Amino acid sequence: YMSNKINITFPDNSVKEFEKGVSAYEIAMSISKKLAEEILVAEVNGKLTDLSAPINEDSKIVLHKFDSEKGKEVYWHTTSHMMAQAIGELFPGARFGVGPPIENGFYYDVDSDRKFSEEDLKKIEEKMLEISKRDLKLSRENLKRTEAIEYFKIKKNDPYKVEILETIAKDEENVSLYSQGDFTDLCRGPHLPSTGKVKAVKLLSVSGSYWRGDEKRQMLQRIYGISFPKQKELDEYLKNLEEAKKRDHRKLGRELELFSFHEEGPGFPFWHNNGMILLNNLKEYLRGKLSELNYEEINTPIILNQKLWLQSGHYENYKENMYFTEIDERDFAVKPMNCPGSTMVYKTTMKSYRDLPLRLFEFGLVHRHELSGVLSGLFRVRSFTQDDAHIFCTPEQIEEEITVLIKLVFDVYNTFGFDEVQVYLSTRPEKYIGSAEVWDNSEKSLATALDKANIKYKINEGDGAFYGPKIDFVVKDSLRRNWQLGTIQLDFSMPERFGLEYVGTDSKIHRPVMIHRAVFGSFERFVGVLTEHYAGYFPLWLSPIQVMVIPISDAHKEYSTKIYEHLRKSGLRANMDSRNEKIGYKIREAENKKIPYMIIIGEKEMESNNISVRQHIKGDIGKFELNEFTEKLKLQSEKKENYN
């Protein structure tokens, strides 16, 4: 007897019985019509599938709306197909490379004789909305790869899809095509049930892109866009995009004289005095935190023998990103990571279980060769300083160490106003080293530490590094953008490769576990993120210049100088603008430099022996006695208040 019923398990572990062959859409309808209207894609037993696909066995199901990452991914993927369809209808003869969803929206690479203009993008947008109104159903067809090659060669005259089928998909016997109306594209899917789901579209830009990233190949036009189920959401996104342009850390970095980039060192940041003040404040702050937790600071060489990188596995897995040199006819490499240096420090003496955990931290400068096309201000550079730490501990100490680390990460982010943090736990990948039992126990230790700290987290199944599971921290900034900053990684490989040992309570030799952790990630990227998060208006404790003293005229310079000197002696970072310029001009300049406070000195202030204070953005905040104001600022700075 064969049952015609299957059990569907929902995320809350509730189970419902359905007829075999039921679709995710029908399952959603059985719950509510509203849900069925809102869902975009189904995840069946961990695999994304079309809402219309039949389900024939007991399954776990997750129904994704636009508010989930997977929902957005499918939404934007279908929109990229709609854009290709619109381009094909408007500009016949256009041929298409690849059109994937990306972190924010989608793109499609187009081969067309027409050089697309802003006006063309508007026309394509209008055509896409027309395709949306047609409410075309998306249908999937599976066919043999050889048939698909014939279809794209003969019917579509599309060499790009043919090349994909002959190279990338060469090991697949069957492939899938998706059609909407007259438009058909090669695609794995899944897709939205219909084009009518896409309500608001904006094409953002067009740029050149070599086919398959090869500069010897055809130059295509890459059109970027984004779409939303509601016009209001699109308007909000575009408003944030405008705000992000104003906050661009590359622009603010120049204006506030924090850092610069030069042709003589592409991808290598040049830090100016203001930037160094900011960096040193961050280092001092983190050093203080780590000192409280009994960390020991180390510093390891920038260039080390190539043998070390062969031993660590970096050479094998990472050599295309490394810089090499020769010293005394021997091969050396510039370090791309700090971890092997830490193991050298650990090995200098034999350790006992009493010496563990050993917490070593290093603000270590590393160099990595990034392709010039991906360099992006401080977000992607070729040299940067990691706020690295390596903790060597016994397996029994893992959970406690992770608990302390999680608290540290949240404390630090809270100081900078990052109060929304998403946490991901990445588990054992297909290729891993060490025993499955050690992995299971380690994953359990990480999960238990997160649970004890009452932290909600998502599991990234199989996304751990080959050498151990990890926890990643993603923060939301003031523009609601996500930034992956901190990470905590367990490592069984490095202690094995370098033969690290300690004497246990049983007087036998054991292998320690190595925990890699970074809170900021790198100082450079963190400064970039902070600059945009604060729009360059750093809190008082971080501001390179905290107070600008401004005499109204030459007659007030002497009194202003005394105030300036008093502030400097009190430990505040003060400057004085004694140029022969109008007071309004000098105030505007200090505002543009985003200096938290200005002290304005004129006749009245000299007579009453006090100061008039302006605060950035807020304007005039009244008269103060100098010592009172100095103490107020010192206290505010010590407290590390997030906003001025």
Q: Which of 386, 397, 489, 546 is catalytic?
A: 386
The side-by-side arrangement of strands in the sheet containing 5-9 is 15-19, 5-9, 59-64, 41-44, 47-49
H/E stretch holding 79: helix 69-90
One-letter amino acid for residue 207 of the chain: S
Q: Is 390 a catalytic residue?
A: yes
Q: Which of 161, 247, 516, 517 is catalytic?
A: 516
Q: Which of 50, 77, 339, 367 is catalytic?
A: 339
Q: Which of 202, 335, 470, 517 is catalytic?
A: 470
Q: Is 388 a catalytic residue?
A: yes
Cβ 519 vs Cβ 363: under 8 Å: no
CA 379 to chain centre: 9
Reported residue count of the chain is 644
Q: Is 339 a catalytic residue?
A: yes
Give the tokens for residue 330: 């021997």
DSSP label of 151: I
Give the tokens for residue 496: 């094995």
Q: Is 368 a catalytic residue?
A: yes
Please tell me the distance from the alpha carbon of residue 306 to that of residue 229, in angstroms, as a whole number. 53
Q: Which of 77, 191, 390, 594 is catalytic?
A: 390
Q: Which of 368, 510, 517, 533 is catalytic?
A: 368
Please tell me the distance from the alpha carbon of residue 530 to that of residue 418, in angstroms, as a whole number. 10
Crossing angle of the two packed helices 231-247 and 523-533, in degrees rounded to 10:
120
DSSP label of 91: S
Instruction: Please give the radius of gyration of the chain, using alpha carbons only, rounded to the nearest integer.
Output: 30
Residue 573: burial class (beta carbons within 10 Å; 0-12, 13-18, 19+): middle
H/E stretch holding 232: helix 231-247
> In terms of Cα–Cα distance, which of 575, 602, 600 is closest to 587?
600
Instruction: Tell how strand 101-102 and strand 59-64 pair up.
Output: unpaired
Q: Is 516 a catalytic residue?
A: yes
Q: Which of 388, 472, 477, 577 is catalytic?
A: 388
Catalytic (active-site) positions: 339, 368, 386, 388, 390, 470, 516
